């Protein structure tokens, strides 16, 4: 069994309060102890109950109490899901259209039935600059749920590192394999091609990058920036390897577009080289390819 950090936090608080009170604990009491929205706490308790870690009782003396299984889980630190901790499956946060240094380590959707619209509580870590009310933010696609959430910050709790966001757009990325949106059989160039020859290919085809391959081995990417730099320095006759970046990222043709988006955001790149099960280059997928596939979902 693996629990995210937020669920462990709620479970531990429940155990501590149950020991203190020697009686059942209400969601309101837990929310007050944790400084969280009560709806957020109830959602977590519902999941913990489904995992047989919490029991609930209704009535005047009703509330929640931990099971014996809960005590066992909390005694084993390795039961906490590693990917839920900071630096694992944390998701980058876009602030006013720019990728920030902040990471979202937890997200809860609340007020879904409110006529004013849904709200989201984001727990963030590592923000280099204060995030203020009125700031536009975007997060996602989130691991597992594949959710993208956009909205405007309406409240900030710096002590807890939480943002309350008024949601303006929310969608879940469909499961679409990379092979369905990639450019197959990409044009590749030999390391012996000249910078001028590669520049002509880029101009004629409208490419912004071309893989440099020899005997099936990827040597790097010749990019428009590096090629233009070489041309401006009068090195058009040099081999293209002088205008090639060895930094590139790959993805499997059977992976889905949500993983591709996360890789692109994590490494701040606009394209990935697509490999088959044998590790051979079979395509290129760009951010534009994915956005075009999602065009119907992303329309306002």
Q: Has residue 198 got a pLDDT over 60?
A: yes
Give the confidence band of 4 by pLDDT, cuts at 50, 70, 90: low
Q: Has residue 297 got a pLDDT over 60?
A: no
Q: Has residue 112 got a pLDDT over 80?
A: no
Q: pLDDT tens-digit profile of 28-87?
A: 999 888 887 888 788 888 878 877 889 998 877 789 999 988 887 777 543 444 333 333
Full domain range(s) for residue 157:
86-172
- Residue that finishes a domain, picked among 118, 137, 172: 172
- Residue range 98-117: average pLDDT? 80
Phi, psi of 137 (to 5 degrees): -135, 155
pLDDT given for residue 5 in this prediction: 64
Q: How far apart (Å, rounded) are the C-alpha atoms in residues 227 and 205?
A: 15
- Residue that finishes a domain, picked among 44, 59, 80: 80
Q: Say yes or no: 71 and 19 in one domain.
A: yes
Name 77's Cβ contacts closer than 8 Å, sequence gap at least 6: none
Q: Say yes or no: 98 and 72 in one domain.
A: no
Q: How far apart (Å, rounded) are the C-alpha atoms in residues 279 and 133?
A: 47
- Residue that finishes a domain, picked among 80, 104, 121: 80
Number of domains in the chain: 3
């Amino acid at each position: 069994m693996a629990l995210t950090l937020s669920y462990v936090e709620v479970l531990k608080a429940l155990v501590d309060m149950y020991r203190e009170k020697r009686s059942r604990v209400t969601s309101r009491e837990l929310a007050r102890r944790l400084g969280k929205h009560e709806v957020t706490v109830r959602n977590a308790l519902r999941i913990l109950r489904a995992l047989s870690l919490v029991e609930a009782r209704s009535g005047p003396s009703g509330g929640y109490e931990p099971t014996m299984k809960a005590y066992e889980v909390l005694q084993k630190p390795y039961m906490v899901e590693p990917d839920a901790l900071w630096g694992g499956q944390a998701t980058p946060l876009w602030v006013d259209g720019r990728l920030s240094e902040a990471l979202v380590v937890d997200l809860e959707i609340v007020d879904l039935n409110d006529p004013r619209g849904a709200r989201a509580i984001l727990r963030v870590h590592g923000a280099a600059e204060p995030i203020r009310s009125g700031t536009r933010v975007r997060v996602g696609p989130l691991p597992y749920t594949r959710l993208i959430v956009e909205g405007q910050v309406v409240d900030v709790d710096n002590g807890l590192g939480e943002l309350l966001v008024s949601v303006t757009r929310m969608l879940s990325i469909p499961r679409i394999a990379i092979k369905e949106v990639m450019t197959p059989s990409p044009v590749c160039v030999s390391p012996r091609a000249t910078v001028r020859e590669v520049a002509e290919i880029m101009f004629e085809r409208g490419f912004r990058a071309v893989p440099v391959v020899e005997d099936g081995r990827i040597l790097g990417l010749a990019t428009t920036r590096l090629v233009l730099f070489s041309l401006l320095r009068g090195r058009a006759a040099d081999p293209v390897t002088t205008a090639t970046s060895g930094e590139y990222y790959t993805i499997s043709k059977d992976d889905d577009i949500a993983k591709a988006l996360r890789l692109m955001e994590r490494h701040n790149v606009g394209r990935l080289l697509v490999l088959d099960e044998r590790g051979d280059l079979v395509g290129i997928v760009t951010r534009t390819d994915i956005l075009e596939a999602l065009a119907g979902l992303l329309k306002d």
